[in-house]
Amino acid sequence: MATIESINKDKLPSHVAVIMDGNGRWAQRKGNSRIFGHKNGVVAVRETVEAASELGIKYLTLYAFSTENWNRPREEVDALMSLLIVTIEKELESLLENNVCLHVIGDTQSLPKSVQKQLFRALDKTRNNTGLNLVLALSYSGRWEILNAMKKLASDVRKKNLEVDDLSCDSFVQYLTTSEYPDPELLIRTSGEYRISNFMLWQIAYAELYFTEVLWPDFRKEDFFDAILDFQKRERRFGKISEQVNTESVN
């Protein structure tokens, strides 16, 4: 298990994104309801936020609820929404103490009003914090985001605010909900599933992917540090060859 001391602070990913998966299976293995798993997932959220803060990582995105998750049984969705309200309220003090600035991406309008209220309150209270930027992906999916971006873009073209020929990757990203954040350099998924599940489809083009068998409620700081250490061993080539990358890092 990795310790914080074993991590090279000069080679940190600026943005880590996490697909927090495995709550339901964790609970069912213990003979409990799936909702019990979600409740226990909060500990792992706290540990991950603290670990990222302690390391000095600038951006941490947590995939908490996907647009597809609305299709789960009604009682599970309701329980998740209630848990969100309670958790945001309960964790606010610690976010403030740790200088964490909260952000949200996703279709927040589709969340119950009571969730929106807690969420917007927390966004407002933490907005001047200068430490970790914690981005919650709620009612989020990559396709939803790209489609939304396309709609806004088409509208700008129609209003003649944008010339189609001027469109580039850099100008396209201005239409995404993540326009103010760097792309994730490391994407972690727990629970032994090897898929992306509609998460940040544009932004993870060159992310390093890290999969672990650990179920989300069991995920601890050391697991996060393990992922960072693994990231630090990778050679990121961005289409080039190894020799080019090595020469660039020397110069």
Question: How many whole angstroms separate alpha carbon 5 and alpha carbon 161?
Answer: 50
**From the candidates 8, 23, 32, 69, which is the catalytic residue?**
69
Q: With CB under 6 A as the contact rule, which of the stretches 120-128, 151-159, 178-186, 193-201 interacts with ligand IPE? A: 193-201
Question: Rounded to the nearest 5°, which phi and psi values hold at 70?
Answer: -60, -20
Tokens matching residue 88 = 């945001």
141 makes contact, choosing from ligand IPE, Mg ion, none, with CB < 5 to 8 Å by partner type, with none
Q: Work out whether 38 is an interface residue with Mg ion (CB under 5 A).
A: no
Among 12, 15, 20, 21, the residue binding Mg ion under the rule CB under 5 A is 21
Q: For Mg ion, which stretch binds (CB under 5 A), given 16-24, 31-39, 82-90, 182-190?
A: 16-24
Tell me how far apart the alpha carbons of residues 106 and 103 are, in angstroms, rounded to a whole number.
10
For Mg ion, the closer of residues 25 and 220 by Cβ is 25
Which of 21, 208 has the CB closer to Mg ion?
21
State which of residues 7, 15, 57, 63 lies at the interface with ligand IPE (CB under 6 A): 63
Nearer to ligand IPE, 7 or 36 (CB): 36
SS3 per residue for the chain? CCCHHHCCHHHCCCEEEEECCCHHHHHHHCCCCHHHHHHHHHHHHHHHHHHHHHHCCCEEEEEEEEHHHHHCCHHHHHHHHHHHHHHHHHHHHHHHHCCCEEEEECCHHHCCHHHHHHHHHHHHHHCCCCCCEEEEEEEECHHHHHHHHHHHHHHHHHCCCCCHHHCCHHHHHHHCCCCCCCCCCEEEECCCCCCCCCCCCCCCCCCEEEECCCCHHHCCHHHHHHHHHHHHCCCCCCCCCHHHHHHHHHC
Pick from 16, 17, 19, 104 the residue near ligand IPE by CB under 6 A: 19
Closest residue to bound Mg ion by CB: 21
Q: Which does 197 bind (CB under 5 to 8 A by kind): ligand IPE, Mg ion, none?
A: ligand IPE
Report, in Å, the least distance between residue 229 CB and Mg ion: 25
Question: CB under 5 to 8 A by kind: which of Mg ion, ligand IPE, none does 219 bind?
Answer: none
103 bridge partner residues:
135
Q: Which is nearer to ligand IPE, 32 or 69 (CB)?
A: 69
- Shortest separation between residue 3's beta carbon and ligand IPE, angstroms: 27
Give the residues lining the site for ligand IPE (CB under 6 A). Answer: 19-25, 63-66, 69, 80, 191, 193, 195, 197, 216
Which residues are annotated as catalytic? Answer: 21, 69
